[in-house]
Amino acid sequence: MLYKSLVRPHLEYANSLWNPYQKQDIKALEKVQMRATRLVTALHDKPYQKRLRTLDLLTLKFRRLRGDMIETYKILSGIYDTSVSPDIPIISEYATRGNSLKIANRRCHYNLRKYSFSMRITNV
C-alpha cells in the first residue's frame, strides 16, 4: 500500500510525455518496483512475476502502455480541448472496413520524434 501511494506516482508522473525508450531507462524504473516488491518478507524469495501477481501489481511498462491508450481515447473522443491536445493524424479516407478514428502512421527519421506520444500510439 505504501508503494502504491508514495513511490509509484513518482515513477509514473507524466508518462504520456516522458516515456523511456532506452532499455537502460526502462530497467532502471522497473528495478525500483522489483526492489519494492522484494521488501515484502513473505515474497522475498519468489520470482518477480509471481510477486507481481501476488501483490496484484502490473509491470510499469504495461501501465505506461495502458496510460497511453487511455490518453489516446480521451483525445480522440474530444474529452480534452483540441487547442491543447497533441496532434494525432487520423486517416480521413477509409474503405468499407474499419472506423473513422484510424490513426495514420507517419514516418520519421529522428529518435526524438520517433518515440514521441503521437508516433508511439500508432504502433500499438
pLDDT tens-digit map of 22-50: 899 999 999 999 999 999 889 989 999 99
Q: How far apart are the first and last CA of the chain?
A: 31
65 membership: H or E segment, kind and range: helix 60-76
Asked if 88 and 73 touch (Cβ cutoff 8 Å), the reply is: no
Distance from the Cα of residue 51 to its chain's centroid: 21
DSSP state of 116: S
Q: Which range of residues forms the domain containing residue 106?
A: 2-123
Q: Is 0.95 surpassed by the pTM of this model?
A: no
pLDDT tens-digit map of 37-95: 999 889 989 999 999 999 999 999 999 999 989 988 888 888 888 777 777 777 777 66
Domain count of the fold of the chain: 1
Q: Grid coordinates 496510460 are at which residue?
A: 67
Amino acid at 111: N
